[in-house]
Structure 1
Amino acid sequence: MSSRRSARLSAVSSAIKEDPKPSENGSTPPKVANISKKRKVAPEITEPKTNGSPSTPKRKKASKPIPPITPTPTAIGLMSMPYSSGDIDNTTPPPINRLAVPNGTNAALVTPETHRLVASKPVDQISPSKKASVQTTGKILDEAIAHLLKADPKLKPVIEQEHCHVFSPEGLAEEIDPFRSLASGIISQQVSGAAARSIRAKFVALFNTDKSDASQHVFPTPSQVCGSTIEVLRTAGLSQRKAEYILGLAEKFHSNELTTEMLFNASYEEVLEALIKVRGLGKWSVEMFACFGLKRMDVFSTGDLGVQRGMAAFMGRDVNKLKGKGGKWKYMSEKEMEEIAEKFRPYRSLFMWLMWRVEDVDISTLQG
């Protein structure tokens, strides 16, 4: 009896060692196999939280949130690229002292189809009795700076270090084609500066197939773009939507729903209302065009993160401690921004430009 009992115990022991896997019917495996399984699983406990394991709280590994990238303030040159002399095909003419107005268009605009210049009168064409009381493109920047310094002397170091070319006599002499500027702005949306320049060059090349030298390429007119198709425009690297946006913009100019004369003479509210109807042009895009394309001096964008951040820094706040709330980044509320900027009317465009640059200047000694 004892020998048969010993044989049975020996057989059971051998079975446990040779088959540590769970049975096909899902029953619990023998104890020895269970120990082996735990040893294999153990490394998973120390794995990073990317495997979704609830055993490691996500907040322990979460990286510091970063605000979304905007063209401002660090890339102000790139943001204004479609509206600066770098985008003009011909050499900018020497400055002509013309009439200027803070609440109107001060740029010299060029009609897209006929290349006719639409601009304010030169000062030498007005009567001598009125010259002393009018603002001119040669002096309006100086007058704007004086107004801002009177409203807040703390702006002095920023103004002294950062020269605003946009509203200088040279900047106001730049001849701006509004169709080219707006189309270039659409191309630049949500892509890097290098990508925007590459796509824009390919887009322009589509309409200059007879010129092998890229330096001789000229920006297409609205009628030329209207004669193309979405499929052809996309070969330049444009997305489906951007191709549709540019074609729609061209149709607006081709049908005279948008005209250079209207953009020059209309009020800011009328310009905003007309351009916001164009697919692909949101409020921010129109604000930037009004400031850098039309050279209007009382534009103020409360939705621009660069302006928000600069204003917060200017007010002495630690912008690095500010966080996004409710899924949206806010360095300062729109209401507070408007209240602060109110005293800088009618030159809020210059104030806005300075706020993009304020973090590059040491203003700590003037805080308080």
Structure 2
Amino acid sequence: MPIFQYGETEVEWLSKRDKRLAQAIERIGLIERSTMPDLFTALIQCIIDQQISAAAARTVNARILQVCGGHMSAEALLAAGADNLQRCGTSMRKVQYMLGVAEAVQAGKLDLSAIPAMDDAQVIQTLTGLKGIGIWTAEMLMIFSLGRPDVLSWGDLAIQRGIMRLYNHKELPRERFERYRRRYSPYGSTASLYLWALAK
């Protein structure tokens, strides 16, 4: 299973920029988070995973993969049809989102092969143009499918919780969050891994 790539360069930069984060990095050590380079599969999984437990998400994902013949693709998803997909344990609303992504890919309206060449703002704009994909989902795809180095998601409550625990803040206004984002840049994604670990 591929993992998010980071190393001494990112760790040294963040440690020099922030003493508290440096202590957390030293205490926690190397974090291995699996990635999903196939953007179509990742998009579909992100839609399935929304607002359900990790265990439920694994079950639904496995069932949908089975219905698609063991290989996730736009063609296989469309061939499976809405009723079969819903029977896998997900809502019809999510099924419509998934089929919408598949239809956009098949019709050529969404060229997933072009996304890696886009800058971060273009990626967010392109992905959030799809029903069922918000900014947070696009940012998670940027980290775990595209390997983008500088993503710190304001919309991620665990990231916010990690920052508040690390710096003993009782609240985290957007302005303060943005100061941390600038401090961690250009390695916000690596900082995110540690903030998630601190939030647990």
TM-score w.r.t. the length of structure 2 is: 0.90
Deviation per residue, 1:86-143 (Å, 9 max, x gap): xxxxxx6xx9xxxxxxxxxxx8xxxxxxxxxxxxxxxxxxxxxxxxxxxxx6xx5211
Partner of 1:246: 98
Aligned with residue 312 of structure 1, among 142, 148, 164: 164
Partner of 2:24: 158
Distance 1:351 1:177 in 2: 24
Q: How far off is 1:306 after superposition?
A: 0.9
Tell me whether 1:192 sits opposite 2:53 in the alignment.
Answer: yes
| Count of aligned pairs | 199
Q: Does the 8 Å CA contact 2:127/2:133 hold for their aligned counterparts? A: yes
Q: Does the 8 Å CA contact 1:299/1:349 hold for their aligned counterparts? A: yes
Distance 1:311 1:180, change over 3 A: same
Q: Does the 8 Å CA contact 2:16/2:22 hold for their aligned counterparts? A: no
Q: Does the 8 Å CA contact 1:180/1:219 hold for their aligned counterparts? A: no
Q: Give the counterpart letter for 2:73 in structure 1.
A: T
Tell me whether 1:203 sits opposite 2:45 in the alignment.
Answer: no
Q: How far off is 1:176 after superposition?
A: 1.5
Partner of 2:40: 179
Deviation per residue, 1:152-196 (Å, 9 max, x gap): 122223212231224xxxx6xx66211101101111111111111
Q: Give the counterpart letter for 1:162 in structure 2.
A: G
Q: How far off is 1:220 after superposition?
A: 2.4
Q: How far off is 1:219 after superposition?
A: 2.8
Q: How far off is 1:359 after superposition?
A: 4.9
Runs of 4+ in 1 over 6 A off after TM superposition: none
Distance 1:239 1:358 in 2: 33
What SS class does the counterpart of residue 227 from structure 1 fall into?
helix
Partner of 1:59: none
Q: How far off is 1:236 after superposition?
A: 1.1
Partner of 2:186: 346
Tell me whether 1:269 sits opposite 2:121 in the alignment.
Answer: yes
Distance 2:66 2:196 in 1: 34
Mapping 1:1-368, distance limit 5 Å: 85=1, 141-160=7-26, 161-166=28-33, 176-208=37-69, 218-317=70-169, 322=170, 331-359=171-199
Q: How far off is 1:350 after superposition?
A: 1.1
Distance 1:303 1:263, change over 3 A: same
Q: Give the counterpart letter for 2:100 in structure 1.
A: G
What percentage of aligned pairs have identical amino acids?
27
Choose between structure 1 and 2 for higher RCO, CA contacts under 8 A separated by at least 6 residues. Answer: 2
Distance 2:196 2:133 in 1: 22
Distance 1:179 1:316, change over 3 A: same
Partner of 1:30: none
Q: Does the 8 Å CA contact 2:36/2:144 hold for their aligned counterparts? A: no
Partner of 1:117: none
Q: How far off is 1:259 after superposition?
A: 2.6
Distance 1:285 1:175 in 2: 14
Q: Structure 1 or 2: larger helix share?
A: 2
Q: Give the counterpart letter for 1:333 in structure 2.
A: P
What SS class does the counterpart of residue 278 from structure 1 fall into?
coil
Partner of 1:75: none
Distance 2:95 2:56 in 1: 15
Q: How far off is 1:145 after superposition?
A: 0.8
Q: Does the 8 Å CA contact 1:162/1:357 hold for their aligned counterparts? A: no
Unaligned runs of 5+ in 2: none
Q: Does the 8 Å CA contact 2:159/2:199 hold for their aligned counterparts? A: no
Q: How far off is 1:267 after superposition?
A: 0.6
Q: How far off is 1:262 after superposition?
A: 1.3
Distance 1:309 1:256, change over 3 A: same
